[in-house]
């Protein structure tokens, strides 16, 4: 009974975490009406780093000194984080929030493929097939060459590649590297890059509402990360992980309420394909873990 309760609480926390990510995206998209891309990245980064610094100091993770090997991995991870942020926000500013979010849901499939190719993790033909079908789902959403094609969708695809780099790098970190320290280093990298690139665009006047939106985006992002961490500490991963796809539901709701965006039929079909293959991949991984534990 306790396990069942943990599973449902984990599913609830995962859904809340995904709502935080969707609210962050929607808030940033709202801010883009008055502020430039790099200006938003800089302002949101300042607020996020301030919050992360306070949390890391409170948990005594602020002054951690990583080894040389971990330092190189942190740099690689920060590169993936920066690239993923720049590419995804570029897509988000120029296409419906649900479409950009749907493409990002190919991430678990892409991570599984990259782990097989670069980390020598065992992946059978069933999961390779699921990955292939999932990527077909992404093509259905993007529709290259089709009437509804939006070139900015390719930025969302590039964001997936950068986030795969981030996630694979995270797997290479030593277990002793604090999570908050890791998040703070990436946050600082994004903020610095945003500040440098902001010099290349006209600085728009920052009004009170715009400042509130960027601060809110930082809060929602941190909120999502915190609940994401809590999620992974309770219940069964195979039960909880599929609830990460609730971010698509949140994105569609927010896209409709805030921007009047309604996903077309092909986007819905592609999203179902990507989500279905992602859930199947989680299911297969769980079965393989159980089989390995039984031996």
Question: Each residue of 104-122: pLDDT tens digit?
Answer: 999 888 988 888 888 887 7
Q: Within 10 A of 138 (CB to CB), how many other CB atoms are there? A: 23
| DSSP letter assigned to residue 35 | S
d(CA 25, CA 246): 14
d(CA 278, CA 103): 12
Angle (CA) 134-253-7 rounded to 5° is: 65
Helices (H), the chain: 2-31, 37-58, 68-94, 97-104, 107-118, 125-142, 153-172, 179-198, 208-231, 237-240, 246-259, 265-294
- Over the chain (295 residues), what is each successive 10-residue block's mean pLDDT? 68 90 95 94 94 88 88 94 95 94 91 85 84 92 76 94 91 86 91 95 91 94 81 69 89 95 91 91 74 66
Alpha-carbon torsion angle 123, 129, 133, 136, nearest 10: 80
Q: What is the pLDDT of residue 49?
A: 93
223-247 per-residue burial string, b: 16 or more CB within 10 A, e: under 16: bbbbbbeebeebbeebbbbbbbbbb
Tokens at 115, concatenated: 């782990």
> Judging by beta carbons within 10 Å of its beta carbon (0-12, 13-18, 19+), is residue 35 exposed, middle or buried?
buried
Spatial contact of 51 and 184, defined as CB atoms under 8 Å apart: no
Helix (H, G, I), strand (E, B) or coil at 62: coil
Q: Which H or E run includes 242?
A: none
pTM of the model: 0.87
Q: What is the pLDDT of residue 1?
A: 42
- Which residue matches tokens 């009974």? 1
Spatial contact of 276 and 131, defined as CB atoms under 8 Å apart: no
* CA dist list (Å): 82 to 25, 77, 122, 158: 16, 9, 29, 12
Residues contacting 155, CB < 8 A, separation 6+: 87, 88, 90, 91, 94
- Of the candidates 83, 75, 48, which has an alpha carbon nearest to the alpha carbon of residue 191? 48
């Amino acid at each position: 009974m306790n396990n069942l309760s943990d599973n449902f609480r984990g599913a609830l926390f995962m859904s809340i975490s995904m709502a935080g990510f969707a609210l962050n995206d929607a808030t940033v998209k709202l801010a883009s009406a008055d502020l430039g891309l790099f200006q938003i990245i800089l302002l949101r980064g300042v607020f996020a780093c301030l919050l992360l610094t306070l949390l890391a100091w409170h948990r005594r993770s602020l002054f951690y000194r990583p080894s040389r090997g971990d330092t190189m991995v942190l740099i690689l991870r920060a590169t993936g984080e920066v690239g993923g942020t720049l590419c995804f926000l570029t897509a988000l500013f120029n296409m419906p929030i649900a479409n950009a979010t749907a493409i990002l849901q190919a991430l678990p499939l892409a991570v599984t493929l990259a782990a097989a190719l670069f980390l020598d993790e065992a992946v059978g033909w069933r999961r390779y097939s699921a990955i292939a079908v999932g990527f077909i789902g992404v093509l259905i959403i993007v529709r290259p060459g089709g009437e509804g094609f939006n070139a900015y969708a390719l930025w969302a695809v590039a964001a997936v590649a950068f986030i795969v780099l981030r996630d694979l790098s995270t797997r290479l970190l030593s277990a002793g590297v604090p999570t908050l320290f890791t998040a703070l280093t990436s946050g600082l990298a994004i903020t610095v890059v945003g500040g440098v690139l902001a010099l290349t665009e006209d600085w728009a006047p920052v009004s009170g509402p715009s400042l509130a939106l960027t601060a809110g985006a930082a809060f929602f992002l941190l909120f999502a990360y915190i609940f994401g961490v809590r999620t992974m500490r309770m219940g069964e991963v195979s039960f909880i992980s599929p609830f990460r796809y609730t971010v698509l539901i949140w994105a569609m709701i927010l896209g409709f309420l805030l921007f009047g965006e309604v996903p077309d039929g092909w986007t819905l079909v592609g999203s179902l394909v990507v989500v279905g293959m992602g859930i199947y991949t989680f299911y297969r991984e769980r079965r393989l873990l159980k089989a390995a534990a039984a031996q």
